[in-house]
Structure 1
Amino acid sequence: MRANYAATLACILALTACGGSGSGGSGSGGSGSDGLLENPRTFDTSAFTSARVTKIVDGDTVDVSIDGDADTVRLVGVDTPETSGSNTPSEYDNALTEAHLREWGNRAADWLGQVIPEGAHIFLEFDSNEGRRGSFGRLLAYIYTEDGVLIGRQLLKQGYARAYTEGDAIRESIYSSLEQRARDQCEGLWGPLCEGDGAEYSCSSSPNCGQIGSCQEARFRLTQCGQESLDGDNDGVPCESICE
């Protein structure tokens, strides 16, 4: 999983089409297979608000400067796991543990900081259904990089986020499809769900790593049974002697 994480990050930073991501480069334009425009330069950029990144707050929130004024942008349509405070496993079908979600919240924030680091020029697109600001006073917007990468789309495709369906975003249906695709392909935070169906295991006992016969079983017990003692260093990988 860690190798995949590094590889997909490198691909996004290089803006290359690898792993079937469907991302267009800065000169490609056009739409992706999911119908989302890849490059803001293919349409009138006057419809966007230009901003500079001043700080990555977490995987779905960014502090920005707009014409010299400080503001905070909450990405529309996506929700990455919390990096501070508690996560809600029920938002992820109760299939992933708090520790696993927190790890991937940190990974999402790290990824975002690589793609749009401090000082990066970005484009903001507002959603007419959501309005410009949310209940916490933050701007609600889609973010594009200067090279045309739609951040929310990539967070979903790489498995860093779930589709936020509690709002009224115009792209909710497309984003939900991207989440489902990431689940089906075992991307990112959804990886443990693909380690077998666990039918042969039970949560009625709590064996230690020395008593567990496979990485598949270890992941099942961590993610499905909540046996966090199997992940001593809290990195989301259980029983590292067998889950290398």
Structure 2
Amino acid sequence: MKPPAHMLPVVAIALLAISPAPLPADISAVRITRIIDGDTVIADLNGTTVRVRLADIDAPELAQPHGPAAREFLVSLIADKLIRCDSNRTDRYGRQLATLFINGANINLVMVSTGHAWRYRYARKTGALADAEAIARAEGRGLWAESHPVEPWEFRKGRLSRAELAKPAAWAQRSQRREL
């Protein structure tokens, strides 16, 4: 049974409290000063402003359905808090790619498990993120409550016109063809 929407923050906080994952040794403490969207934040690392992209996940763009909700959910989890940040690489835009932790819980995983982000399409097809996405999808959590959510990477490519986005059946057919 899926929890009611008003219970999602409670579920997320419970996940944060019980996460047993040990923290990697190369983690830095940062303060989140701004949340751009559901997968990009601005952090203060000892007086240096750093743009951080949550690694291995992709949240809906703000212009997409559920984009603002994904951002607000991330705000509720980490805004103006001291976060553990595991980052050892940058993306082609110069952003730090990182896994964020609060109280030992993996924020990237929480975003996927609550249906506020996809597992990034280039991430491993197995493992915790893949399992979390499959469960969120099966239980209709967050963006999975929509009949045919559009992946952010497809939205960014501009492959779909506004008219196509408004027709779930057309998107479903296109999505099914791609899976074949």
Q: TM-score, normalised by structure 2?
A: 0.74
- The CA RMSD measured in Å over matched residues stands at 2.4
Does residue 165 of structure 2 align to residue 186 of structure 1? no
In the TM superposition, 1:39-58 aligns within 5 A as 42-43=22-23, 46-58=25-37
TM-aligned CA distance change 1:9 to 1:134, over 3 Å: same
3-state SS of paired residue (2:140): coil
Match in the other structure for 1:78: 57
Does residue 180 of structure 2 align to residue 224 of structure 1? no
In the TM superposition, 1:114-193 aligns within 5 A as 114-117=76-79, 119-126=80-87, 132-145=89-102, 147-166=103-122, 169=123, 173-174=126-127, 175-193=129-147
Provide the rounded CA distance (Å) in 1 between the counterparts of 2:49 and 2:74: 19
The answer (yes or no) to whether the contact 1:51–1:64 under 8 Å persists in 2 is yes
Higher strand share: 2
3-state SS of paired residue (2:29): strand
Q: Greater CA radius of gyration, 1 or 2?
A: 1
By relative contact order (CA 8 Å, sep 6+), the higher-ranking structure is 2
Match in the other structure for 1:229: none
2:86 is aligned with what amino acid?
Answer: E
The answer (yes or no) to whether the contact 1:164–1:172 under 8 Å persists in 2 is no
Name the count of aligned residue pairs.
151
Runs of 4+ in 1 over 6 A off after TM superposition: none
Q: Where does structure 2 lack aligned partners over 5 or more consecutive residues?
A: 149-165, 172-180
TM-aligned CA distance change 1:78 to 1:72, over 3 Å: same
Indicate which of 106, 109, 117 corresponds to 2:71: 109
Q: Where does structure 1 lack aligned partners over 5 or more consecutive residues?
A: 17-22, 31-36, 85-101, 195-220, 227-244
